[in-house]
Amino acid sequence: MAWSGLTQLDEVVSLDAMLCHSILPDIEDDFWTHIVAEDGLVHLFVDLEFLLDRIPPGTAHNLLCVFRNPAILPAAPAGPVDFEFLGYDLVDRDGLASALTNCGGFPQVFDNRELSSKGLLTSHPRALQVQSDLRRLFPDEPHADCDVWAVFRARGI
């Protein structure tokens, strides 16, 4: 918090692979039909039941439901897990770093005080504006070429 100046945070909830590691760090052979098989995104599962069966019991974790570049705020899926909306993260195209919480800030684009206690933007229009401004003002910065991710977290898990 001293480095980032994000004193309002009580927790970082992000797709940033450096700050928030996957509970299943190794991709096993049977995962491939149940994950997003794109560079930087192999830690994202598309089959909730499959994932739930593989989480080690008693392990502290966040279970997230995410949507990449949604046109509007998506609805959390109905099913065995109840998800609550937390906000929007902006993560570089390689899935490595959040432009919001892991790049030292971009004061020309957003004020760190805009971020929630989870390190996320809460407004969809603002997330899209930050995405656009990052690309426009920092065309040579790889962490500024971001996807907007709507982030939901499972309740009670």
Above pLDDT 70, what percent of the chain?
Answer: 84
Higher pLDDT, 45 or 74: 74
The one-letter amino acid code at 39 reads: D
pLDDT beyond 90 at 4: no
Strands in 64-68's sheet, in edge-to-edge order, are 64-68, 146-154, 83-92
Count each helix (H run) and each strand (E run) in the chain, helices first: 2, 3
What is the C-alpha to C-alpha distance for residues 93 and 153, in angstroms, rounded to an integer? 22
pLDDT beyond 80 at 22: no
Higher pLDDT, 80 or 69: 69
Spatial neighbors of 76 by CB under 8 A, at least 6 apart, are: 65, 82, 83, 84, 85, 152
Task: Specify whether the CB–CB gap between 13 and 120 falls below 8 A.
Answer: yes
45 three-class SS: strand
pTM: 0.87
Domain boundaries along the sequence of the chain:
62-154
